[in-house]
Structure 1
């Protein structure tokens, strides 16, 4: 999300209508819209790797993976975001044309300009989605994935994965090697050893 917002209140209905014809994507928070910046090739490769693996895993299961053009609506706080990858297993989401209300899994690939927001306010907003079981943050500067998983008490527990580990997404019973998440990614600098 880019820090510059438009001026004045915009209704959710006007936002959704405008977004259908807009050449650029915008996220929506409480009457304000925020233009989204373009993604790096590394960001796109990671997102595509995850979406492709999830699509294959979920085929025929009743769950569906979506990529960055599908919005997640947080109705209770009047917010629409574009996650990099989002999964819904709730049949009610099939009635919506361009957003989801009941995702169980949201994945964001971290960018230098959005990392603080993705970890802070955006995660706080996503926690308002009652159906959400896991929120996953994927680094694009090193092989590191952080999975925040909601436990039975409603608390969010952090699970970290690094090179050599298998990523586990309990919400959809999915496992893959971290190397598969980063397939075809070339890091611009030598990786710093991961210190967990």
Structure 2
């Protein structure tokens, strides 16, 4: 999700105060170690790509008895961390809090010039620490390119670039594959 640039020096907020803020304002904020960052609106391409990913994953998720949620679903990957990923796949039936998810198997961030550094550094490090996570996709909204971070069979994180006509395997959905054509349908042409 688009957000304002990370900055230091701001006053910190407790988790309880942050959660109260989220429940009472119409603006979403990410929370990182006491710092609160308002989320900016996203571009049409961003929204269409996120919707395409969600739509492409939904049939396989239903078959696998998993759920796919969009950017209004909060993720708590650590005690003092709360994000709003663009798409999450949830297969753990005990991850049942209606407001906050903690155990996704897939997280997708649609990246822009303003979010790319955070998506590729801060969030990559944080998301790799989620024990249930098997796949983290960073989807460019400006070019047909997806950075695929995945856990291999030994549990080691690997990275590859998906470009052109590539497909991406979604392991927790029974090996379902999503193509770059599906991700970028009606957004970016080859």
TM-score normalised by the chain length of structure 2:
0.90
Please state if 1:184 is matched with 2:186. yes
| Offset, 1:152 | 3.7
Please state whether the residue corresponding to 1:136 is helix, strand or coil: strand
2:16 is aligned to 13
| Offset, 1:60 | 4.5
1: distance between equivalents of 2:86 and 2:117? 16
Q: Residues 6 and 33 of structure 1 are in contact (CA less than 8 Å); yes or no, is this contact kept in structure 2?
A: no
Please state whether the residue corresponding to 1:124 is helix, strand or coil: helix
Residue number among 66, 71, 85 corresponding to 2:69 in the alignment: 66
**RMSD of aligned alpha carbons:** 1.8
1: distance between equivalents of 2:171 and 2:113? 28
| Offset, 1:153 | 3.5
1:88 is aligned to 90
TM-score normalised by the chain length of structure 1:
0.87
Relative distance call for 1:13 and 1:144 in structure 2 (3 A) is same
Runs of 4+ with >3 A deviation: 4-7
- What is the aligned length? 186
1: distance between equivalents of 2:32 and 2:139? 23
Q: After superposition, where does 1:100-179 map in structure 2 within 5 Å?
A: 100-172=101-173, 173-179=175-181
| Offset, 1:39 | 0.7
| Greater RCO, 1 or 2 (C-alpha within 8 Å, sep 6+) | 2
